[in-house]
Structure 1
């Protein structure tokens, strides 16, 4: 049903491991051919080879730094006229720590990967989906984008942008047969997350989800809602922070939690 509804080929940006690889496996298991985008060549090619062997689908790995100003043009050049029927923008760049403790180039790179490149990819591939009157798009957002978060300020702002963008396009493109959804995930046990060695930040903090859990919920919900929060625990915390507590309190909780999880690392440097 999934392939019949959306088409034969999916593009996953940020696909070498973690959530992106989970999307790639899930879409391949549904019979879709894949274009996988990531900047680390060896990891990307290993993931692509594993999926091609396991599911018997065509997988094209495309090595590309999504912070590059011409990232979209690089991708188009490699894939040529290949029609992309389903797009997952999972790639994300983040910086954890005080805003002023890193240079402006770090924040600009976050904006490039999390905001500018998805805008360009959505305009190009989404435009073609609208013209064909069929397609699906997943934008990976985050609970960090529901309110300001100290020590994660630029990342949180970029994820708020992604969610609102996806919700707007959900409305615009639904009459043209293109489903758009923002998946707002909480802590997820990806290699990148695990490598930060996070401590427990608050008694409210839910257990980290597995990437496959987030992906399956998203692929079941696309076409039904413009955005959603993944996982029962995350839904409860999101409701409390967004609808029960005052905004000032939610921002303080998020900042205090980030400081408790990671503060000793940057304060010891």
Structure 2
């Protein structure tokens, strides 16, 4: 059970309309939290909100596109009257895969904006309020992709690496002030978004996370930062952190090709 006295009474979940984000919402609702759901797809957002309300929780939806120039200000304004004790940044995707050289640079920069530049001011704002109250938690959802460079998704992988290193430093800063920081590292996870991309979940020996299990691990490890690797992916993270970068990067690229089918 997530400690509402430490992390409540409200949780903001950016990327909360489906998959791991909606799993966070349902579990927090069961623990008595009020939940703010933020996502681009308004229809899916309302579907999840209805599920969470049915569990007896108070829910506020904020449909917005994080790439909008006003997204950060809009979200801050929409939650200004709430005491937010938990921020979960679950948004972040590789919207523009493909080689970096020769690609549309504006599109590549959108990946960086979504995964890093829009998230930093949200952490700055909400964590600042938590530090003032001397309690709270921030979770940044990451990926094993952030452990090595990757062809066809170089900016995405680099952005996830940035978030992990940023989380570690933030953890050191905030822990003495009563605020927990956790970077939750996901491996392959059976989410609707990944299913729409056509990922192959049936490769022998591959660890596949389920959204409910991933969310439960994240919430149960809020106080155990700075990094929690989703169960079943620890060995892969250690391997990806090795010194033989040429071998690791090439083998990781070959493994990704099998999952995505190219």
Same fold by TM (over 0.5)? yes
Q: CA deviation at 1:4?
A: 1.9
Structure 1 equivalent of residue 79 of structure 2: 79
Aligned to 2:67: 67
Q: What secondary structure sits across from 2:84 in the alignment?
A: coil
* Whole-angstrom distance in 1 between the partners of 2:53 and 2:44: 14
**Following the alignment from structure 2 to structure 1, what is the Cα–Cα distance between the partners of residues 151 and 209?**
23
1:251 aligns with 2:252: no
State the alpha-carbon separation in 1 of the partners of residues 201 and 15 from structure 2. 27
Contact 2:187 2:207 in 1 (8 A): no
What is the match of residue 267 of structure 1? Answer: none
- 1:105 aligns with 106
- Cα distance in 1 for residues equivalent to 2:201 and 2:251: 13
Q: After the TM superposition, which of the residue ranges 152-161 and 67-76 deviates more from structure 2? A: 67-76
Structure with the higher fraction of residues in helix conformation: 1
How far, CA to CA, are the matches of 1:14 and 1:189 in structure 2?
A: 16
Cα displacement (A) at 1:201: 9.8
- Residue 218 of structure 1 corresponds to 218
Aligned mates of 1:66, 1:127 — CA distance in 2:
20
Deviations along 1:154-179, whole A, 9 cap, x unmatched? 11001011111111111000011000
C-alpha separation between the residues in 2 aligned to 1:263 and 1:193?
13
For structure 1, list consecutive stretches of 5 or more residues without a partner in the other structure.
Answer: 265-269
Match of 1:135 in 2: 136
Question: How far apart are 1:202 and its partner, in Å?
Answer: 7.3
Aligned CA RMSD, in angstroms, stands at: 1.8
TM-score, normalised via structure 2 length? 0.93
2:193: which partner in 1? 192
User: C-alpha displacement at 1:101, in angstroms?
Assistant: 6.2
Quote the residue 1:34 is aligned against. 35
